[in-house]
């Protein structure tokens, strides 16, 4: 280099050698052949299982863009021949599908919001408040979770009819506003939060609801997101409750409408494209909700504060 003395050149060379020595080696780690072979077998099995699970969904999507003749002749083909959107045009232009979608959206929004609010309140009460019969109520909650939903259909119909809310939005929404599983999840999460985080708010004069709403509830965000996902999915896919709570066509939800399509009540012949197109549209909101919040689903250790 011009303008450098031999001593400076020696220092530069030593610095370069030290920098090279400090760099991490990029040697490849060679796995034993047996380990590599087992990994390849494992990945092959996982890919095969993924194909088995995803193939029915791909067939469903592809069939929605087929003609009736093509879907009947080759129902498992993934390439529509010819490609057509006639099934979707019939769904949105010549059927009550938009009404079904609107009813499902209304019910799902109100049920999800109600379950998040009431499950949080009940969970906090069971976790923090001391009152007579708390253990009995929690035991009854566990017992309700163990009862199959189909067993409660007839009692549910009788109660809805007696209250005068049969065949109405109230009859569709009110019985679904509280879910035993949601209360159980929120109670366990609130118990993982040390009571000491609430003491300062109580010293400042905050009441029970203020402590719950301003201090504890924001810390329960992972559990709340879990309840949102479970409530949205459960109410969107609910069928048996809507069968016993409504009968008017204008209150038909997506699940009832798609079930009627699948059973052939609203169509003649196979009609695979329109049936699977309706089923594909029905899965979109739940899939979007899951992919948005999947990384925020409750972790048992997240949100807890160590004392």
pLDDT for res 305: 45
Q: Give pLDDT tens digits for 168-216.
A: 999 999 999 988 889 999 999 998 888 888 887 788 787 888 888 888 8
Q: CA-to-CA distance for 170 and 156, rounded, in angstroms?
A: 13
Q: CA-to-CA distance for 271 and 262, rounded, in angstroms?
A: 9
- Judge whether residue 301 has pLDDT over 50: no
- Judge whether residue 15 has pLDDT over 70: no
pLDDT for res 18: 62
- Judge whether residue 307 has pLDDT over 60: no
pLDDT for res 306: 41
**CA pseudo-torsion sign 202, 204, 205, 208:** negative
Mean pLDDT of 233-258: 91
Lowest mean pLDDT among 9-13, 159-163, 262-266: 9-13
Residue in the structure block whose two tokens are 């923090």: 128
Our measurement of the distance from residue 63's CA atom to the centroid of its chain's CA atoms, rounded to an integer in Å, reads: 25
Least Cα distance to 277 among 82, 30, 89 occurs for 89
Q: CA-to-CA distance for 257 and 263, rounded, in angstroms?
A: 10
Least Cα distance to 226 among 299, 283, 174 occurs for 299
CA distances from 296 to 35, 117, 152, 253, 284 (A): 34, 19, 33, 29, 19
Q: Give pLDDT tens digits for 126-153.
A: 988 888 888 898 888 888 888 888 888 8
Residue 123 near residue 181, CB atoms below 8 Å: no
pLDDT for res 12: 58
Q: Which residue has the higher pLDDT, 160 or 306?
A: 160
Mean pLDDT of 292-301: 59
- Judge whether residue 298 has pLDDT over 50: no
Q: Give pLDDT tens digits for 46-55.
A: 999 999 989 9
Our measurement of the distance from residue 23's CA atom to the centroid of its chain's CA atoms, rounded to an integer in Å, reads: 46
- Judge whether residue 242 has pLDDT over 50: yes
Q: How confident is the model at residue 265 (pLDDT cuts 50, 70, 90)?
A: low
Q: Give pLDDT tens digits for 79-133.
A: 888 889 888 888 888 888 899 999 999 999 999 999 999 999 999 999 888 888 8
pLDDT for res 110: 95
Highest mean pLDDT among 90-94, 107-111, 262-266, 267-271: 107-111
**Three-state DSSP state, 281:** helix
Share of the chain above pLDDT 90, in %: 29
pLDDT for res 170: 94
pLDDT for res 303: 44
- Judge whether residue 304 has pLDDT over 50: no
């Amino acid at each position: 280099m011009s303008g450098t003395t031999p001593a400076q050149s020696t220092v530069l060379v030593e610095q370069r050698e030290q920098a090279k020595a400090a760099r991490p080696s990029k040697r490849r780690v060679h796995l034993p052949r047996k380990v590599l072979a087992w990994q390849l077998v494992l990945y092959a099995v996982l890919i095969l299982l993924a194909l088995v699970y995803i193939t029915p969904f791909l067939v469903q999507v592809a069939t929605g863009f087929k003609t009736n003749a093509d879907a009947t002749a080759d129902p498992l083909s993934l390439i529509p021949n010819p490609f057509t959107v006639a099934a979707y045009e019939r769904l949105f232009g010549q059927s009550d599908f938009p009404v079904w979608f609107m009813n499902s959206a209304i019910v799902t929004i109100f049920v999800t919001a109600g379950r998040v609010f009431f499950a949080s309140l009940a969970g906090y009460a069971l976790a923090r408040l001391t009152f007579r019969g708390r253990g009995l109520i929690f035991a009854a909650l566990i017992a309700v979770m163990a009862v199959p939903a189909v067993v409660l259909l007839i009692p549910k119909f009788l109660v809805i009819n007696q209250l005068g809310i049969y065949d109405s939005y109230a009859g569709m929404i009110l019985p679904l506003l509280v879910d035993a599983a949601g209360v159980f999840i929120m109670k366990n999460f609130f118990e993982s939060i040390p009571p000491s985080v609430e003491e300062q708010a109580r010293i400042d004069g905050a009441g029970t609801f203020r402590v719950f709403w301003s201090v504890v509830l924001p810390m329960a965000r992972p559990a709340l997101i879990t309840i949102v996902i479970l409530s949205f999915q459960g109410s969107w896919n609910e069928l048996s409750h809507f069968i016993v709570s409504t009968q008017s066509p204008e209150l038909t939800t997506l699940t009832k409408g798609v079930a009627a399509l699948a059973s052939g009540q609203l169509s003649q012949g196979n009609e695979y494209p329109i049936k699977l197109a309706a089923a594909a549209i029905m899965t979109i909101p739940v899939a979007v909700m899951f992919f948005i919040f999947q990384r925020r689903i409750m972790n048992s250790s997240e949100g807890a504060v160590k004392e």
